[in-house]
Amino acid sequence: MEQTNFEEELDLTYCRASTGKRFANYIIDMIVFYILVILLGIAIGFFKPELLPEGDGGILERIISLICYGLLMFIIEAACHGKTLGKVITGTKAVNMDGSDIGFQKAFTRNIIRSIPFNALSAFGTPCNPWHDAWSDTMVVDEKKLDLQRRKEIFYTELRSSND
């Protein structure tokens, strides 16, 4: 009997997370990010107020904010195998194009790309394929659909085995 690698047969286009779920991930993750920034600002203001910037929120502060957001998402996705709080809540996950978990390097690449201004605008469209996915060869999938695809392939493999 010929062994097949069912990972190669997965229909990941079927498993792709919807634009709505991707948007929910973004909103949840941004809320978490800003809560952390506010808590950090309060802590710095309490212990070392001279370190707080006195700027008016100009472009430099926005770029620093984008980079910090990308770094935070990188740390979370690398530690949690492609998941952030938003992805946990919506049941989605970032994976490689073959359905396997992303590694440290892919998590870094996809999340540093998030620091590019207007990256969020690249997510509009159906299917949702923002720059941080396209340029890092990753995608966000619905975990339930991915699990169904894997079960289907295991079922067919077992069915073929029992008929041989």
Domain range list for the chain: 6-163
92 vs 151: CA distance, rounded Å: 17
Give the Cα separation of 51 and 60 in Å (integer): 16
In this prediction the pTM is 0.81
What pLDDT is recorded for position 164? 67
Band (pLDDT 50/70/90 cuts) for residue 162 is confident
Convert the pLDDT of each residue in 97-152 to its tens digit: 988 999 999 999 999 999 888 898 898 888 889 999 999 999 999 999 988 888 88
- Using one digit for the tens of pLDDT, what is the confidence trace for 72-89? 999 999 999 999 999 999
User: CA separation (Å) from 88 to 9, 28, 127, 142, 145?
Assistant: 26, 10, 21, 11, 15
Of 67, 64, 114, 65, nearest in space to 86 by CA: 114
Beta-bridge partners for 161: none
